[in-house]
Amino acid sequence: MAAFNYNTAAELFPAAIRKKKRAGFAYRRFDTAAAAVQFAIEQLPADSLNGAYLQVEEARFDQSGIRSLYESEAFPLERRVVVEEPAAAADADQDAA
């Protein structure tokens, strides 16, 4: 991936076509692309992220592009820690035995 400036202002747009009358979120502007990416991945429901896009200067990023920016080693913000479900952890312990 080419160098990406996470400090540039960004805009997050909802999907253009919605089956529901009420969108999960509306247009939002962020001071930094990093904050927009973090919001999209960590706070938007999956169905709201599907079809949404992020615009940073002249570049547009769809759901997979947003996820790539979030998972990049260059992402400057702390990522949300994913907590493993207790049942999944118990299954893993049983498999190890």
Chain segment 42-95, per-residue pLDDT in tens: 988 888 888 899 999 999 999 999 999 999 999 999 988 766 556 555 555 555
Distance of CA 4 to the CA centre of its chain: 16
- At 61 the pLDDT is 96
Higher pLDDT, 23 or 38: 38
pLDDT of residue 20: 57
Chain-centre distance of CA 5, in angstroms? 16
Bridge partner residues of 54 (DSSP): 12, 61
DSSP run (H or E) holding 63: helix 63-71
Per-residue model confidence (pLDDT) at position 66:
95
User: Taking the domains of the chain in order of start, what are their residue ranges?
Assistant: 10-96
Residue closest to 33 by CA, chosen among 53, 17, 48: 53
Interhelix angle 33-42/63-71, nearest 10 degrees: 110
Residue 30 has pLDDT above 60, yes or no: yes
Instruction: Give 49-63 pLDDT, tens digit per residue.
Output: 888 999 999 999 999
Q: By the 8 A CB rule, do 7 and 31 touch?
A: no
- Please state the pTM of the whole predicted model: 0.75
